[in-house]
Structure 1
């Protein structure tokens, strides 16, 4: 690519003023195939317009979660939570990304106690005192996706359940802190797994985080277990989710054979999850949705 050509990232800037130095640095890094190290494809590197688009989508997504946080309580059915999020997103110009995604019937996921993820909202599912609940919301605005989930503790939650929720949040935060420009995806999973195991919990391995931005799910897959210095190189302009699913019991999960969406812990133990959308910058990270 010539210096005066428009940059491949779509910024409409000259290559020399945009990603030339980035490419030179990226190409200078020697990767180790036996560790599965690889360079990220160009199509997941976001330009300034992309990042601003995801950031604006994140503002709506955060607002929907804030609204739910102000309303959620014992006695509320999960369809009411779904409608709160759906209406907020639509009223603010967005689109609920989950609705009709690969046939998913609702606008958000609401996962209670031993439901690991993808719990389908229903009038028949009512929150009870002592429940722990994950609400997962993804918004599309002008073609850009933002994805986040939060845990909510309903009423008088047991000490064991509270600790699981708190440690899971710590796992997410530690995972985000491990993200460094020019580090590796495996760095995230290594620290999450260590922190979870230190507290006697297991990490769900069948599911994980993902790149996000112009699509709901992009490269890379973000495992929340593994070894440092393995996997895809993390570079400025990548946007991904860190969303560890931590179980009180064993890591194994099962899919509901009827709805083919809801995922439970196999042993019936409690599970918790927190999620943020994270931009990798030249100096560290920026949270775009939480």
Structure 2
């Protein structure tokens, strides 16, 4: 068992608005906002994925009150690593200046579900590793075709990090992978930089709605609670219409879904920790609340957890 001690995030200062995109492809602010809810996105300029991860991780450790040498494991979720090896987690350990050798450090790739999958991994690892750093950082702008208006309007760059420590906190977790890949989402291979992200939007929309609803209902069933007892649903920030549709399907107020995709767009695995960090800063997350985190992504994957907040999060 583990509890979240601290949460932090980082996004590049370089902002690309919908009006900026209208100068690059045939689109406009009204078209993008109506279909996605996105108004702006933060895009890397002179920074890297590793830079973002470092900023978020450093801040999360500082806020936790732990010494960096007390970190026992580092889990790094990303689909946009800077290199095949060493892992981004190992590189981050070195950059943070953690000298202790006995640190478990590895990357995982579950597309936009990556952060929640990492959280589940950490939950089970907490029996052996007391303090765990989870980082989700994505440089989606590096794998986007900026001439494809169906995808370039959706994605942004950003990073989020949390520090977990062992406790008696209660969670239920579920991770799933669809067995039908069906080319709904295709990213570039490491051998061909010419291939960029492409997406069959209607198919992904239907999958996302089905996956989110299934996960939320499953979490409630396993925890023996009602949807009304959940204080917030922190969902992957892909499209505002997806969240609106799921809210209607579940018969709950849309306000239960906290959203910040208007500012960041779809940051893949980083989207949920970006939301959590913002909610913590606004003091929206309080002890004893029930928070459902749920995500979906390429694979096709979907993952969720129902988290009972234990103590204050910094």
> Could you say whether these structures have the same fold, taking a TM-score greater than 0.5 normalized by the shorter chain as the test?
no
Between the two structures, name the one with larger relative contact order (CA 8 Å, sep ≥ 6).
2
The structure in which a higher percent of residues are helix is 2
When normalised by structure 2's length, the TM-score is 0.29
Structure label with greater radius of gyration: 1
TM-score of the aligned structures, taking structure 1 as reference length: 0.30
